[in-house]
Every structure is written in C-alpha cells, then in structure tokens.
Chains A and B, each alone.
Chain A
Amino acid sequence: MVKILSTRYGKSSGFKLLLAFSVIILILALCPQFLPRFFVYLLALILISGLQATSLNVALGYGGMYQFHHAVFFGIGAYTVSIMLMKTNLPPALSFLAGPMVAAMLGFIMGLICVRLSKLYFGMLQLSLGSLVWIVVFRWYSFTGGDDGLHGVPVPALISSVNGSYYFALITSIVSLFMMYVILNSPFGRILQAIRDNPERSEGVGVRVKLHQLVTQVIAAFFAGVAGVLFVTVEGSAFPDLLSWTLSLEFIIMCLLGGWFTFLGPMLGAAIIVSLRTLVGVYTEYWTFALAVILMLLIFFLPEGVLGYFQRFSQVPDHSPAEDK
C-alpha cells in the first residue's frame, strides 16, 4: 500500500496519505462508542453503498464499461446469503462466502454475453439480462419470497447487533477497498484504463480487450456481492428492490457525484447521497425530487464529480481519461 502510494504521490506524501487514512479508519472504528445507534446504522449503510458504488466504479470509471445494471449483483449476493442462512443448515461462514461467489459467477455468465459489444450496447444488453434475473426473483415466491422478499434472516448473533454489524461492515469494506485499490494499481488495472481510453489502440498493441473486460466484470460483481452480503447483516432482509434498475442508476449517480475517475469518489458520493436521503427524508416525502435536482446540477456544472473537481486543482496525478480521444 505504502509502496503504491509512494510511487504515485512521492515518498513523503505517500506516508501522509496513509497516516490520514489510518486516522479516518480509527475515527470510524471509535464511532459506535460515542454516536447514537441510528447514526451507527447510517454509517454502516454508507459504507455498504460506498463499497457497492466503488465496485461499480471499477467497471464504470476505470474500465469504461457502461455497467447499467450493477444492482443485480448486489441483490444476488444478498439473496444468496439470505436463502442459505434461512433454508440450509450449512455453517454461516460458508453462506457469507457463497454470496460474493454466486454474484461473481453471475457476473461471469452475464459478462460472457455482454462483452461482445461495447458502450451503450453493452449497457443495454446488461440491462436486459439483469431484468430477467430481477423478474425471476420477483416472481419465484416459493424460493425467493417473491415481491415480499425475505425477512428475519437468521444472521449469527455476533454480527447482527447494530455495533456488531457496523464493525463487520467496516472491516469487510476496508479489506475490499484495499483489494480493489491494489487490483486497480496493478498492471492489470493500468491495462484496463488503457482500454477505457482507447480500445482500438489497446487491441492494436496486443491487449486482449474482451478478456480484460470480462475479468473486470467478474471482479466488480464479486465486490458487489460482498456489499450485498453486508446489507443483509445490517438490515436482516432481502427484497426484489435490491435488484431493481432504479437502484442501479442510483449507484451510478453516487459514482458520478463523488467523481468517477477517482478511487474514493464513489465512497464520497455514497456518503453524500445516503446522508441527504436521510436528512431530506425527515422533512419531506419528495426526496427523489431533491436527488433529481442534484443530478441535473451535477450534469450541467460538475461532470467530473466532487473529488474529481478538487483533484483537477491539486497537483495530484489522477485517473482521468487521456485528453486526446
């Protein structure tokens, strides 16, 4: 981690950044000691949405793939762990591992079909496959509970309390974020960004574009599955809305708001949107109206997102696409 940060930002600022992150993590770890229960719950939701948005951004911001229906992997992760906990006697740890694995498998299958095309066609294809999964989950009453969803999932006692689930979400998302960061800064991640900036030229120098996109899809789906599992530990339920297309678009908005060419942007975007939803939701039922206005302002005035906007003015090298397209 230090090595990657140091090579990217210079030795001293690499350590400074690591120090800053350690302080943030320490503060987050101490939060349950002095914050009311509701805010701890809210923080856990932010972490989960942030993890989900970051996993989306691996494909969307770094891979340049129009991942229109990323919520499917989130929902499948959540459903897998719920169904395994409720209907089988397998050890819980196995169920928690199965969530991301099944999501990754689904990502692989959908990826095989989708990566044949690119850009808008890719997104549309994913949308149609994802809605097939959604409608099956929505209708299969005997297995998934249909539109009622599954409630009262028997999550192990250790991680089902508010603080327990918070710490579980915190640790898991930090580990996942770290893994995604390493992946994106590996040669693989560099190639991925090259593909985003110029697929034809990448193909020309011998990169196997489709294979890289497929692997990216699997990675993104895996971490989305992790986020889905975390969601079940916090909420104790899974319902078809987790796979809905509008939720997918909401995650895309998080990426966009935070800055989709930055690593931590989606996390920031998730924090802003989840807290705003709670805050605005207190005063009015028209929360989506506020979201829409934010989105419109964003598209008109801040297309690079909050973090991207600040990065442009600092000297930090960023992940933005090359200018000459």
Chain B
Amino acid sequence: MDFSTSITFNGLIQQFLIGLSRTTILFIVSSGLSLVLGVLRIPNVAHGSLYMLGAFLCYTIASFLGASSLGFWLAILLAPLVVALVSLAVERGLFCHLYDREHLMLLLFTFALMLIFGDIVKAVWGSEYRSLSPPEVFQGSLSILGMPFPKYNLFLLCVGPLVALALWFLTQKTKIGKIARAAAVDRDMVAAVGINVSWVFASVFVIGCYLAGLGGALVAPTQNISQGMDHTIIMEAFLIVIIGGLGNVWGALLGALIFGLTASMGILVWPQFSIVFPYAAVVIVLVFRPKGLLKATW
C-alpha cells in the first residue's frame, strides 16, 4: 500500500494526456455501442468482438500491404469498413427477425455472436500476440514539459474530437440522423409516416459497428493485439454507456472521460489498484444517479 508521494506537476500532465488518448478509443467504441443501444435497443455484447476484429483486420491489411505508411493508412480506412460489412450481414441475416424480442433474449443472442466471433478470430489468427508499429510520421515520441509522449497518441487526441463532431453532425443535421432519433422514440409512428424503419435500424447498426471497428483499428498500434481484447473493452464500453446515460452519445463522451482519466490518474496514486479506480468511479456515479449522468434516450 505504498502511496507514491512524488506526484509532480509534469507527471500529472503526462498521465492526463495518456488518459485522454485512452479516452479517445473508449469514446469511439462506446459511442457506437450507445448508438445501437439507444436506437435499436440492443445491448450489443458482440460490440467488443467487432473491435477486436477491427484490430486484427488492421494488422493483417497493414502487413499485407507492406510496411509503408500508405499501407497503414489504408488499413485504418479499410478495416472498419470490413467490420461494417460483416455487421450488415449479421443485421440483415439475423437481427432483423428479433427486434420485438425481450432485451434479455437480444443480449444473449449477441453473446452467442460474441462467442462465434471469438472462435473465428482464434481459428484465423491463432492465439499468439500480434503487434503493429505506427507509420513513420508517428513513430517515436515528443517531449512535452520534459516528459516523453508518444506521437501516435497525439494523433489519437486529434481523431477523438473529429469523431465526436462527425457523430454530432450525423445525428443532428442529416436526415438519417433525424429519422433515427425519431425511431428511437417511437418506431411505430415513424413507420406509419412511410419510412422503412428496418433499413434505418440497419444503417444505425452498421454505423455503430463501424465505430467499433474504427476503435479497434486505431488502437492496434498502441497495444498488443490479442484474444481477450473483446472481453475487456466490452465491459468498459458498457460501463461507460451506463454512466453516460443509455443511448446518449454525449453521455458516452462524458463516461469515457471519467473512465479514461480515473484509470490514468489512479496510476499516480496507487499503481497496483489503478484499474480499480474507474470501476469504483462508475459505482459512485450510479449510486447517486442510477440512470446515468445525462438523459437517456429511453
């Protein structure tokens, strides 16, 4: 129980930035989950598996296209698209028959998908660790206030706000976003005015899963790509969505900030239990606001 007493200002800033770049990934993944949960009302447990699939695909595409940085960027671009295609097939093939079932059934159904994706990844990529190096531009680290900071994480810090902005534009300004928000509130009414709700749902599902794949592809250069990635991220993403408010994309941002920053700051306070801090933060939030910090869509 040795509380480290040497917390310096620079160390604090460094951990803060590292926490923020982790937040970016968490936000991208959990906003997708939140979107699916809010509009389709599916607690999609397989979301984490799509994230893992995104990471593995990014690795494979990047190594197939060679070590050039162009290969890496193409991989970042293509991997989420492949994930989105997979999710489209799953939605049209299986989910669209199940929308009127209970949440419990939907949750278990997505759990079955999670098991299947896990086994597919095990069969295709095997169980050893993979790692991917970032393109040359983002290799190495910068020095911020005398502390080293990986360049790739700076790139992540720029991507996060872009994704948030794109999501805001998509849900608030485009027609499909407006329809999707309406369908989240009352799907029968939306169907009654002549909109094909089934396809609206399909596109929201695909966008959500695209975000999972994007998160996976972006995280690939920062950590080992391995099986079991899906279990950790889905737990974290669910907790983030819960504390943010089900279906609220800004809630996902807030939740990801809480989760990411408590984890990285916790390292300074009590390294051995740093991972416990975000979970404790979640519980504290839920004790006071059991339905999440921001307004849930349902």
By secondary structure, the A interface counts as helix
Cβ B287 vs Cβ A113 within 8 A: yes
Cβ B109 vs Cβ A131 within 8 A: no
Which A residues touch B243, using CB under 8 A?
128
Bound together, the chains give a CA A292 to CA B118 distance in angstroms of 11
Instruction: Judge whether B173 is part of the interface by a CB distance below 8 angstroms.
Output: no
- Interface-facing stretch out of A40-48, A119-127, A307-315: A119-127
By secondary structure, the B interface counts as helix
Instruction: Judge whether B43 is part of the interface by a CB distance below 8 angstroms.
Output: yes
Cβ A125 vs Cβ B108 within 8 A: no
Cβ B103 vs Cβ A120 within 8 A: yes
- Interface-facing stretch out of A154-162, A211-219, A220-228, A283-291: A283-291
Pull 17 A–B residue pairs with CB atoms less than 8 Å apart, ordered by A. A113-B287, A117-B290, A121-B290, A121-B291, A123-B104, A128-B286, A131-B239, A132-B280, A132-B283, A139-B275, A139-B276, A245-B231, A246-B231, A249-B45, A252-B108, A295-B109, A300-B97
Q: Which of B94, B108, B235, B283 contacts A256 (CB 8 A)?
A: B108
The tally of residues in B whose CB lies under 8 Å from a CB in A reads 40
Bound together, the chains give a CA A128 to CA B241 distance in angstroms of 11
Within the complex, the shortest CB–CB distance from B99 to chain A, in Å, comes to: 13
Instruction: Judge whether B136 is part of the interface by a CB distance below 8 angstroms.
Output: no
Within the complex, the shortest CB–CB distance from B261 to chain A, in Å, comes to: 17
Q: Using A127-B238, A291-B115 as known contacts, say yes or no to A303 and B105 having CB atoms under 8 A apart.
A: yes
Bound together, the chains give a CA A293 to CA B111 distance in angstroms of 11
Which A residues touch B104, using CB under 8 A?
66, 123, 252
B117 nearest in chain A by CB position:
A292
Chain A proximity mask over B97-113: 1 for CB below 8 Å, otherwise 0: 11001011101110111
Bound together, the chains give a CA A253 to CA B282 distance in angstroms of 27
Cβ A128 vs Cβ B119 within 8 A: no
Interface residues on A, range: 35 or more
Cβ A288 vs Cβ B287 within 8 A: no
Residues of A within 8 A of B (CB): 66, 68, 113, 116-117, 119-121, 123-125, 127-129, 131-132, 135-136, 139-141, 245-246, 249, 252-253, 256, 285-286, 288-289, 291-293, 295-296, 299-300, 303
Instruction: Judge whether B73 is part of the interface by a CB distance below 8 angstroms.
Output: no
Bound together, the chains give a CA A155 to CA B105 distance in angstroms of 39
Cβ A116 vs Cβ B108 within 8 A: no
Instruction: Judge whether B116 is part of the interface by a CB distance below 8 angstroms.
Output: yes
